[in-house]
A and B are shown apart, each in its own frame.
Chain A
C-alpha cells in the first residue's frame, strides 16, 4: 500500500543503491561464499579429523611435557642467539648496499630510463620480495652449504626488495618544489641528489632500515630449521628428539628477543620522527 503510493507519487524515492547494483553485489557475495565453501571442503578432505578431535588432549599433553622449561639448557643457547643477531644485523646492512641504488633506479623521478632500467629494477624488487627468506636460505644452503653465511645472504636477498620498494615509494613522494629550487641554483645532477632529494628521504630510509632489522631478527630465528644457522638449529634438534622442555625454553628466548628488538626498533623510529 505504502510502497505503491510512493512509486506513483512525485515524491523522490531514495535508494542506497540502484537495483542493478544491488543485484550485482548479492551475486558477488554468493560467488564469494561458494568459493569459500569449496575451499573449505578441499581442506576438510585432506584433514584427518580423528586427530583434530583429539587435539585438545594432545595440546594438553604437549603442554605437560614442555613445562617447566629446561633452564640449564640456556648455556647452550647464547652462542646460537649471538649468531642469530649477527645474521639479522649483517644481513640488513648488506641488503642496504644493494637496495639503495636499486630504489633510485626504480623511482619514477630518479630513474635514468623509465622504459628500460626501471622495469629491470622493479623485477629485481618483486623477485626478492616474492621469495620468503626461508626459501632463499634453502637455496643458499643447497649452493654454498649450511651455516650462518647462507643465512646472512638469505636475509640480505629477501630484505633488498623490501627496503628498495619502501624507499622508492618514499623517493616518488618527495616534494618537487625543493628539487626545483636546487636545480634553479645551477646545481649538477649529483648535487641535486644530495641536497634536494637525500635530505627528504633520510628519515624514511632510517625508519625502513630499523623496521626491516626488527623483522629480520624474527626471520633469522627460524632460518636454522633449514640449516642456515642460528637458534633455529637448536630448535630443530630439540624438536627432532622430542625434547619438549628445551623447545619451550627456546621459544621463550625467541619470544623475548623478538619483543626486545621490536621495542628497540619502535624507540629508534620514534626518535627519528
Chain B
C-alpha cells in the first residue's frame, strides 16, 4: 500500500497528464467523424449567442457590399421575369397547389459562424428544423455552390463547407458536359481540384465548372468556379485546378436549396444499385 502511494506521488505528473490527454483525445476522436458534427453543434451551443452578436456587428460593417450583391441579383431576376411575361401564358392554372411541378425550394439564411483556415471547415447558418431546413440540403451563396447541410438544431444548422477535406461534389464542364469529382486539397480557400476528367477531352483555362444533379443534392447548373490550371497526372486523367467563384472569406448570406423529389429519386435508384 505504501509502495503504491509512493509510486503515485512520484509519478503524479505523468498520471495527471495521461488522464487529461486521454479525455482530450476521446473528445477529439469522437467529435471529428463526418456525421458527428452534431457534437460540434452541441458544444458550440454555449458560444453561439456571443458569436451571433459578433456576426451582427460584422454584418453591419459590410452592408454596402451586401446591398450591391442584392441589387445585382434583383436585376438578374427581373430579366428572368421579363422573359416569362412575354411567353404565352397557359390557359388554365390552378393556384391551390403551390408545389405542383416544383422540384426545388429555396430559403435564405445568415451565416453565424464560418472558418476557412482549418483543414476541415464547417459553417453555421441561422435557420434550422423549425424553418424547414434538413440535412443533405444544398447551400449556395446566391449563385455558387458553397456546401451542404449536415446537421440541424431547432434554429441553427451546421453545413460542411466545400473547403473540407471530407467533402466531395459531382461537377462538370459547362462547355462539354463531361463530369468528374471536385475536392479541396486543403491549400488555399480560393482553389479546389477537379479530378476524373479523362485526357482525351479538350479543356482550356477559363472554362466554367458547374454542378450536376447526380447526387440529388444540388440542382443542375449551379456555378462552382473556372478552370485556372490543367495538369496531366500519371493516370489517364487531368488534375484540374478550379478557381472558386464563391468568396468563402466573406460568406454572409446563403441560400439553402431543398430537393422535394430527392427521396423519390434515391428510393428508385436504390432498387438497382
- Same complex: no
